[in-house]
Amino acid sequence: MSGDASVEVSVPTDLTVTSDGESVEGRFSSRRQARELQALVADRAELQRIVEKQKLELQSKDAQIVALPAQHEAAAASALAQKDSDISSKQIQINRLEAELLRVKEELSTIRERAARELVQLTQKCSVFQQNQKRLAVRQEEIRASLANLQLSEEELIRLRSTPVQQLTLQQYTSLRVYELVWPLKLRIKELEAVSTSTESMLINKDVDLKSRSEQCIRLQNEVDELRYKCEQYSCQLVDIKDEYRADDFKVRNYNRVKSERDMFEEEKNTLTRKASELELSVATLKKEYSVLEERFKEVKVKSRRQESALNYNVNEVTDLSNKLEKVTEELGTCNKNLRFERDRYGELHEKYTAVRGDITSLTESYQDLQHEIKLLKEKNDSCSLQRTNLQEQVQQLSHKREELQIEVERYKGKYDAEVKDVEEQLKELKQNLNSANKSRSNLLDENTKLHQEFQALEIALHKEKLLRERESTSLRDELESCNKMLSQYQALEREFEKNIKTAAALPNGQLGAALERLLPSHALGGSKALEQSVHLTRRILKLERLNTEAASTIQQLTESLEQLGNKIAAYKTALGLAGQPSSKLLQRIADLDDQVTALQSALQFNSTSKTSLEEENTALIQEVTKLKEALQNFEIQNSELGAIKEQLITLRQYLPSVAAAKTLPSKSDADIPWVNLREDKTVPQPSAKAIIITKNVRKKLLPS
């Protein structure tokens, strides 16, 4: 490619200037045109850079666009789940509120019926009370007429008191005696009359209040009927809303409305809890007042009983009086009884009045709350309609965006499938390499397990002979110290191993085996497959690096040749500008040069693409090499452990028979010692490795217990 890139361009020197202008001005114009051409070339290079940057940005945006549908789908799924949960909670709240509405309606109906019954009872009691009052008034006039004969003036009373009792006549004596007995009763009657007048005035006020309350009840009944009609309308609206809830589109459109309704219901719940607490406090105060009234009523009863006993005592004293006085006392007793009865009834009426008043206040408050709820529902309906229109517009926009994204996704899927096929082919090659490495690893692991089993058997035998080898522990410790010293010498083994692999990769295939045996002492233990693969990969990496450097050099040469061609084209154009009418040969030459420039640009693009592909292959091969290096390190560690174990076994087998012969114990013969049988039955293969690596695990196993 470097030979094709070097194009010889010869500028014609036989150009003649045919213009009549001055030569200096022509030179200046040619220079200006050359500068403009250079600026155009620089602009073209900048445009190419900008185009490359935009391509990279387009790739990143394509990746983002590919990820956007998944993100939108996940967000839509989460939003739908959240909306479904919110709608279910709202449905539960709506059902609860409907149940509360029904309960409130039932309570209102019961309260209305109870109020009507109590009003009827109160009217009946008022009529009976008025009749009793009239009858008592008539009876009082009759008593006054009968007592008119027994009345005394103050002068007569003073005169009768001054005269002795023996000189008084029977009539004078009875009148005096009646006066003394009746005077406190008169005072009591006056007090009772005052009380009766006050009760009458209170009853009149109560009648007025009852009339006003009855009017309020009628008005409230009308309002309750209106509210019932509105509740029926709202129930119809609730049925429609439930039908809309069942639709999928309504869940999406009315999310904000449902959320606002939930907030409003929570506020209403808080207000209801506050009202319930206030009502509980009012009930507690009413209970306290009721207890106080009961105590007062008991006191009044005690006083009335005392008065009755006093009256009975007075009646016993007045038995000597005439039948008129007895009738008067009896009538006075009946009057007192009627007054007590009326007082008790008055107390009951007062309590019922207070209860009815509390019910009426609660009804007014509930009516105000219902009006407030109606206003809130109207506002919610308006806001929901606005939100519905906004959501419909947003859904249309999202549908358009979704269609555009689907078109782009289909376009990018084709690109992705082509790239996936290339990656799958590369993965197949890598899997084949990994399978070969895994096979070699499995073979080595089998050998390791066999040796580990032998080592466990030897450990059992050593545990039995531990008492006989206390003297041997010191020698083994010395040997372990020497092994630790050897370990310190093999710290730079990995670097030497990499250097040896690189040197082996640089050699040809004929000299590879000898070089591996000479450079890598663990080659005989670990096998040659992994090493051959590592050497093959290092060769491939070196080859790719050489190709990369060659491609970079060719790209540099092509860029230099392009710059030269651009300069030559600029010179040709300046010459053409000076010549005025260029020749046909020169035009053909320029066209050929333009074709060469386009060919060189295509070659540059091909080289850039090949460079990127080679870089990707290089990175993939580097990753494979790192993985194989790790596998080789693990194999080397395992092989070193196996070699160390084998050498330890050999030394122990060589050392134990000499110790047994030196100890000459009468109780044990050569047949009783397991080491002799093991040495005779099993032939342990000696490793051909020159280097021994003892890891931490092996050191822990070899340390004396």
Flag whether pLDDT at 20 surpasses 50. no
Flag whether pLDDT at 678 surpasses 50. no
By the 10 Å C-beta count (0-12 exposed, 13-18 middle, 19+ buried), 220 is classed as buried
Flag whether pLDDT at 622 surpasses 60. yes
Neighbour count for residue 31 (Cβ, 10 Å)? 11
Q: What is the DSSP string of 591-649?
A: HHHHHHHHHHHHHHHHHHHHHHHHHHHHHHHHHHHHHHHHHHHHHHHHHHHHHHHHHHH
Per the CB < 8 A criterion, the answer to whether 524 and 517 are in contact is: yes
d(CA 37, CA 34): 5
Flag whether pLDDT at 165 surpasses 70. yes
Backbone angles phi, psi at 640, to 5 degrees: -65, -40
At residue 656's C-alpha, the angle toward residues 650 and 657, to 5°, is 105
Model pLDDT, residue 684: 41
Model pLDDT, residue 404: 79
| Residue among 632, 468, 644, 571 at smallest CA distance from 38 | 571
Q: How many CA atoms lie within 13 A of 9 on its CB side?
A: 26
d(CA 604, CA 499): 36
Flag whether pLDDT at 102 surpasses 70. yes
SS3 per residue for 191-222:
HHHHHHHHHHHHHHHHHHHHHHHHHHHHHHHH
Better-scored residue on pLDDT, 661 or 263: 263
Per the CB < 8 A criterion, the answer to whether 348 and 146 are in contact is: no
Per the CB < 8 A criterion, the answer to whether 331 and 139 are in contact is: yes
Better-scored residue on pLDDT, 74 or 8: 74
* Buried b / exposed e along 149-177 (16+ C-beta atoms within 10 A): ebebeeeeeeebeeeeeeeeeeebebbbb
Average pLDDT (504-513) is: 64
d(CA 225, CA 112): 12
Neighbour count for residue 433 (Cβ, 10 Å)? 15
Average pLDDT (653-678) is: 49
Owner of token pair 């709506």: 94
Q: What is the DSSP letter of 432?
A: H
pLDDT per residue over 566-600, tens digit each?
776 676 666 656 554 445 665 666 677 667 667 77
Flag whether pLDDT at 680 surpasses 60. no
d(CA 94, CA 100): 10
Model pLDDT, residue 44: 80
pLDDT per residue over 519-566, tens digit each?
555 544 444 566 666 666 677 777 777 777 777 777 777 777 777 777
Q: How many CA atoms lie within 13 A of 322 on its CB side?
A: 12
d(CA 311, CA 654): 139
Q: Report the interhelical angle of 323-464 vs 674-681 (nearest 10°).
A: 70
pLDDT per residue over 348-404, tens digit each?
777 777 777 777 777 778 777 877 877 887 787 787 778 777 777 877 777 787 787
Per the CB < 8 A criterion, the answer to whether 523 and 531 are in contact is: yes
Supply the mean pLDDT for the chain. Answer: 69
Per the CB < 8 A criterion, the answer to whether 527 and 440 are in contact is: yes
pLDDT per residue over 598-621, tens digit each?
777 677 677 777 777 777 777 777
Residue 463: band (very low, low, confident or very high) from pLDDT cuts 50, 70, 90:
low
Domain residues of the chain, as ranges? 21-67, 111-417, 465-702
d(CA 581, CA 569): 17
For residue 77, give every residue at least 6 positions away whose Cβ sits within 8 Å of its Cβ, in sequence order, or none. none
pLDDT per residue over 218-262, tens digit each?
777 787 778 778 778 877 877 777 776 666 555 566 667 777 877
C-alpha torsion angle, residues 379, 380, 383, 384 (rounded to 10): -150
d(CA 559, CA 441): 49
What distances in angstroms separate CA 427 from CA 161, 432, 514, 640, 670, one per listed residue?
143, 9, 33, 33, 60
Model pLDDT, residue 17: 42
Reported as type and span, the H/E element at residue 545 is helix 529-579
Q: How is residue 589 written in tokens?
A: 């030459």
Model pLDDT, residue 10: 41
How far apart are the two ends of the chain, measured CA to CA in Å? 72
Flag whether pLDDT at 408 surpasses 60. yes
Which CATH number describes the domain made up of 465-702? 1.10.287
* Buried b / exposed e along 221-257 (16+ C-beta atoms within 10 A): eeebeebeeebeebeeebeebeeebeeeebbbbbbeb
Residue 670: band (very low, low, confident or very high) from pLDDT cuts 50, 70, 90:
very low
d(CA 144, CA 256): 84
Flag whether pLDDT at 131 surpasses 80. yes
Q: What is the pTM of this model?
A: 0.20
d(CA 618, CA 231): 79
Model pLDDT, residue 449: 72
Model pLDDT, residue 681: 41
Q: Which of the listed ranges 69-83, 106-120, 237-251, 531-545 does the model predict with the highest average pLDDT? A: 106-120
Backbone angles phi, psi at 691, to 5 degrees: -100, 140
Residue 347: band (very low, low, confident or very high) from pLDDT cuts 50, 70, 90:
confident
Q: How is residue 6 written in tokens?
A: 């070097």
